[in-house]
Amino acid sequence: MQSSLVPPTADRRPTTSEHHGHQRTDDYEWLRDKDAPEVLAHLEAENAYTRERTAHLADLRQSIFDEIKARTRETDLSVPTRSRGYWYYGRSFEGKEYGASCRVPVSDPDDWTPPRPAEDTRPDEPALPGEEVLLDLDALAEGHEFFSLGGSSVSPDTTLLAYATDVVGDERYTIEVKDLASGTLLPDRITGALGGAVWDRAGESFYYTTVDDSWRADKIWRHRLGTTQDEDELVHHETDGRFWVGVGRSRTDRFLVVASGSKNTSEYRFLDADHPEAGWQVFAERREGLEYSLEHAVLAGEDVFLVLHNHAGPDFELGVAPVRPTPAEQWRPLLAHDPAVRLEDVDAFAGHLVVHQRSEGLTQLRILELDEEGVAEDYLVDFDQEVYTVGAAGNPEFTQPVVRLGYTSMAVPSSVYDYDVASRELTLLRRTPVLGGFAPADYEEHRLWARAEDGTKIPISIVAKRGSREDVGGGTGPVPVLLYGYGAYETSIDPYFSIARLSLLDRGAAFAIAHVRGGGEMGRHWYDDGKLMRKQNTFSDFAACARHLIATGWTTPDRLVAEGGSAGGLLMGAVANQAPELFAGIVADVPFVDALTTMLDASLPLTVPEYDEWGNPEADPAVYEYLASYAPYDNVAAIDYPPILAETSLHDTRVLYVEPAKWIARLRATAVGRRDFLLRTEMAAGHGGVSGRYKAWHDRAFALAWILDRMGLADRPSGVRP
């Protein structure tokens, strides 16, 4: 839709810097001062312009929101998870944003079947007999524009609850402790924490993490109940700027573990609750390039550490070591390195081990049954679908005989199963209800393979409504497609279900995920081939996937829309510069588009820890030149770009709002042709966007309406039944 409105114009205030003999001029760096009235005024002007430019989509946005709401069971209950004599679960309520955390006592210690609520349970009554409300999240959120629960942890004796909240969006949490018997808060209060708390075995102290000025998790603290925060003990301070720290407790309760890790190197410390006099010990000192993790297990009656590591090969091996400091050369293989299988994680239980792995781009769960001699059986939990995602979830008890797992595909809603290891029976406990006449059989999903410029096969997962590709002659024709991509940090974007996505599919569009290099879908080499000096592969892979969808008749350039967020937003900015002719529109969510500026400034959040991902352009001329060759902001050109919607949040601490703000300003000043660029800034949110499910639905409805408009489907009804 053409508009006579004039977009906001940011003043050009050039600043020039020189690096390795290259001069670089930036006209819009002044937008970085988010406290400056003129910057806030500019962002508000951009928001006003975006509202006006998308006013014609207001009815469609409301329709999409109504569809999401109509398909969602608003008053609902999660599958209860058993821990320390209680079943824990979450509740949601119609008309409320956040819901509640609850528990009920276990009535039969020998029965691991989770209790089920009555179908006609009302929001104002207990879902299960003996229900205890641990946290009323809507009450905690009252009076705040933003609210996030960073984590909650019940003490080992089940009498106290430590929980963390953020009411700004900057991911700096406040930890408080609730007495579950009286419902009152203890005086203990921790501010500035990253995430939640980890209790010690005695329940007399808890551990937490804080960040430095660049938002790097660098310190682990111990807080003793009944003391003030300024009395807390500093357990570990990580001084290497490339490393992050975290703290956890083993499923057996015996060990506390502090992990230090960069993008390619690990170091673990442990504290043995059976021998606290030994203090914190380093398990294996850091070596550049050596990654490992620890899991306490009991094999053949012996306490051991399971060590998942890359010492034997890039796709990791599962080794065994004694529960004492042990160098990598002494780790005994339990599952040897296999270049066809990427081992990702391991969970240890009294009677079995659960290995999370992937092969040929698909996730797998592997069970190792144990007996008195060690591993007795080794097998996969099988699923029949062509494209799916599976993973263990919610398994806190070391002695539990079942494995709780989650399963989904692009057509099958998130499903929760219990797998009985002894009988090898898989029991479906819950499939997320989708109202309005939804049936998985009405949708088709496929795994496609594109060919990259260097000949590498790139997997694509795609889903569409059955019959949407049929033309009047009975054959198949092109349909609008939303192509999503990420491609960084070895993060795999595995197939997943989305209720909101049905508003696209039911209007005749398809949704596809391009599993590009830089992610982890095909193993460690997939990641290595899409980072540092091989980052260009990520961008060319995405373009190859788009060309494959066009060449094979799935879609056409005038109906293909691209979307990505954060590091995937960098991908969006790069393909906008390199292959604008392939897309009818691009959505860039919290996009990392000013990568060169960020990586040149070590004082900015996350820059130093990111050197192993992007390189250090300040120190290395070759890295500078390579990053400058693809950084979206630096490569904006006088070309005709497709329409672009950039979305960001003012309080984002990971990708600062200034990156898309500068990008849109430079696009408007430089591009030719349509010059259709929108910037939308949430003024009270962080990296994850707005908080609260209804706000999130409205937020997603905004983007989906814009996408449908770019596809030419804005006037097509969805067909959802209320």
Q: Please tell me which residue in 652, 676, 699, 709 is annotated as part of the active site.
A: 652
CB-CB neighbours of 393 under 10 Å: 15
Q: Which two three-digit tokens encode residue 641?
A: 């770009």
Tell whether the torsion through CA atoms of 520, 416, 77 and 440 is positive or negative. Answer: positive
Can you tell me which residue has the tokens 């594109």? 450
What DSSP designation does 194 have? Answer: S
Is 138 an annotated catalytic residue?
no
Q: Please tell me which residue in 236, 356, 515, 687 is annotated as part of the active site.
A: 687
Distance of CA 114 to the CA centre of its chain: 28
Three-class SS of residue 662?
helix
Identify whether the C-beta of residue 199 lies closer than 8 Å to the C-beta of residue 159: no
* Beta bridge partners of residue 307, listed in sequence order: 294, 319
Q: Which two three-digit tokens encode residue 15?
A: 């600043």
Is 144 an annotated catalytic residue?
no
270-285 CB burial, b ≥16 within 10 A, e <16: bbbeeeeeeeeeebbe
Is 418 an annotated catalytic residue?
no
d(C-alpha 634, C-alpha 670), whole Å:
11
Q: Please tell me which residue in 153, 415, 566, 691 is annotated as part of the active site.
A: 566
Identify whether the C-beta of residue 653 lies closer than 8 Å to the C-beta of residue 686: yes
Backbone angles phi, psi at 328, to 5 degrees: -60, -30
550-578 CB burial, b ≥16 within 10 A, e <16: beeebbebebbbbbbbbbbbbbbbbbbbb
Per DSSP (E only), the strands in 15-159 are 15-19, 22-26, 76-77, 81-83, 86-92, 100-105, 132-136, 148-154
Q: Which two three-digit tokens encode residue 722?
A: 């209320």
Identify whether the C-beta of residue 197 lies closer than 8 Å to the C-beta of residue 249: no
Which strand (E) or helix (H) includes residue 396?
A: none
Can you tell me which residue has the tokens 């988010």? 34
d(C-alpha 321, C-alpha 371), whole Å:
19
Three-class SS of residue 90?
strand
d(C-alpha 513, C-alpha 484), whole Å:
5
Give the active site residues.
Answer: 566, 652, 687
